[in-house]
Amino acid sequence: MKITLLGTATSQGIPVIGCDCATCISDDPRDKRLRCAALVEGDNHTLVIDVGPDFRAQMLRADVKDLDAVLLTHEHNDHVIGLDDLRPFIFRRRTPMRIYAEQRVLDEIKERFKYAFEEHAYPGAPKFELLPIHPGDTLEYGDMRITALRVHHGRLPILAFKINQLAYLTDTKTIPQTTLNQIQDIDVLILDALRREQHHSHNTLDEAIAQSKAVKADKTYLIHMSHILGPTASWEQDLPAGVYPSYDGLSFEF
């Protein structure tokens, strides 16, 4: 099983349009970050976690030819607004794309992509099969066993996903005990770390490090960074053993 981090930035991406801070002008390729999403490839199936505004560029860059389904963590635009760009996959297969998310998120998608759900939708509109899931639900795609997990994005309850021995948690502020138990001692933890300063709905760098310790993951990769955190080279040395900065295109077997 293989995961590829397609994007690793917070909602504005890095560089931020018009910004000339040290991160945004950095020539370290790791500091060019698209919005967060991940590609998961098993023996015979390919899934994507979140479909943000950079989805098209991400699919081209990773040379993805086919997708079986989409898992959505939550309804914020940086995680869903690229859904229209699923059309090439939908047209090629001639079947609606399966979208797994919580009912609240699916309702929001019906609002934001209203044209896709009209009775007489125009022929070029995407077609989605909306499939509600709840924390604790398990899906099987070939050799992938996916469990939906609950995490809290400030006051918003959202989903995270455990796929075999990997857990993907984005936009996290607190991890409930039930979820901690489900991912305890996991091989790989992917977790967000926005910046050093407090934020009402995202982990700071220190909070992410503390959560990684609580989970006792073998390896933790940090995602969803803001340009405010600074260039990767300015903070990576502060990470304890087993915690690593991620970058777009980072790919490994698990």
Residues at the site binding Zn ion, with contacts judged by CB under 5 A = 16, 19, 21, 24, 76, 78, 171, 227
| Under 8 Å between Cβ of 44 and 26 | no
Minimum distance of Zn ion from residue 92's CB (angstroms):
29
Q: Which of 140, 136, 147 is nearest to 45 (CA)?
A: 140
CA pair distance 38, 33, nearest whole angstrom: 13
Report CA-CA distances (Å) from 33 to 30, 59, 73, 119, 184: 7, 15, 19, 38, 29
Minimum distance of Zn ion from residue 27's CB (angstroms):
14
Minimum distance of Zn ion from residue 72's CB (angstroms):
11
CA pair distance 244, 250, nearest whole angstrom: 11
Decide whether 25 or 121 has the Cβ nearer to Zn ion: 25
Decide whether 162 or 227 has the Cβ nearer to Zn ion: 227
Decide whether 11 or 164 has the Cβ nearer to Zn ion: 11
Decide whether 173 or 227 has the Cβ nearer to Zn ion: 227
Minimum distance of Zn ion from residue 19's CB (angstroms):
3
Decide whether 1 or 37 has the Cβ nearer to Zn ion: 37
Decide whether 70 or 90 has the Cβ nearer to Zn ion: 70
Minimum distance of Zn ion from residue 225's CB (angstroms):
11
CA pair distance 171, 165, nearest whole angstrom: 20
Minimum distance of Zn ion from residue 140's CB (angstroms):
27
